[in-house]
Amino acid sequence: MPDPALRQRLQQRRLLVAPGVHDMVSVRLAATFGFEALYMTGFGTVASHMGLPDAGLATYSDMVGRVKQMASMAQAPLIADGDTGYGGLLNVRHTVRGYEEAGASAIQLEDQEFPKKCGHTPGRRVIAMEDMVRKIRVAVEARASPDFLIIARTDARTALGLDEALRRADAYARAGADILFVESPESVEEMRTICERFDVPLVANMVEKGRTPVLSRDELEALGYRIAIFPVSALLAAVKAMHGMYAHIRAHGSSKGAPVELEDFGALTRLMGFEDVWEFEKRHAE
């Protein structure tokens, strides 16, 4: 069942910060910091689970299993990327029901054509606004609990301009979306325009070196955003560290002397739950 804490928290005007999680190690680690919500990034989950680009290659079946695993360990409401709903209206209904049953507290649905693309990459195209309105209505109808929130994302800004993106977001709110996500505004002024337009919770997508300026918590809150997601921040940090370690091992044949700060191995074993295994073995030793 969805966690009602997310809906309740969004009634406040304070910014909710939801870092991206992409695999079970990142979920376990993020859970130790007491975040109020976590964001299951499609980009990162597809990359870590399948080794593929976020370009419409992952199916509902690929993703709903990841939702269930992550939600079971998140210890905070999980906001999950549902891409385009993986097809037409019947697929959207199936996806919403599946994500809700898997334990997510919110699903993000976007108005891109299939196959979709990552929101900060070129070449995105959107479906007709009326088609997305129907998807949002189906999603609202399909959920079992009003605590399962529907996030409507429009990718119209890049190809069709901000005015069209705002027009679409208006329509999606009227269709019943709980949260609006106007993807990839390209300046602080555009972000301010978005926030001045709507009185429903808005998502700010903070992608480092993406199309949108990365702002501080205070700056985002002052603009009027209610949710800030950082979908690939941890993944980018991890890949940078791994790159440095692999390069050092390749060059020197050993990890000794690598200019990369490492987590303590004992801390990692504790994070992954080995202490429970060792205690179990003690209690049941022959």
Per-residue pLDDT band for 1 (boundaries 50, 70, 90) equals confident
Write out pLDDT tens, residues 27-44.
Answer: 999 999 999 999 999 999
pTM: 0.94
Q: Taking the domains of the chain in order of start, what are their residue ranges?
A: 4-238
Distance separating alpha carbons of residues 269 and 70, to the nearest angstrom: 19
Write out pLDDT tens, residues 114-172.
Answer: 777 665 666 688 999 999 999 999 999 999 999 999 999 999 999 899 999 999 999 99
CA distances, 3 to each of 37, 160, 256 (Å): 10, 36, 45
pLDDT at 93: 98
Mean pLDDT of the chain: 94
pLDDT at 120: 63
Per-residue pLDDT band for 208 (boundaries 50, 70, 90) equals very high
Q: What is the mean pLDDT of residues 166-195?
A: 97
Q: Which two tokens stand for residue 53?
A: 């680009």
Q: What percent of the chain has pLDDT over 90?
A: 90
pLDDT at 13: 84
| Signed CA dihedral, 35, 41, 44, 48: sign only | positive
Helix (H, G, I), strand (E, B) or coil at 85: coil
Q: What's the CA angle centered on 201, arms 200 and 204, to 5 degrees?
A: 135
The second-level CATH assignment, the architecture, of 4-238 is Alpha-Beta Barrel (3.20)
pLDDT at 237: 97
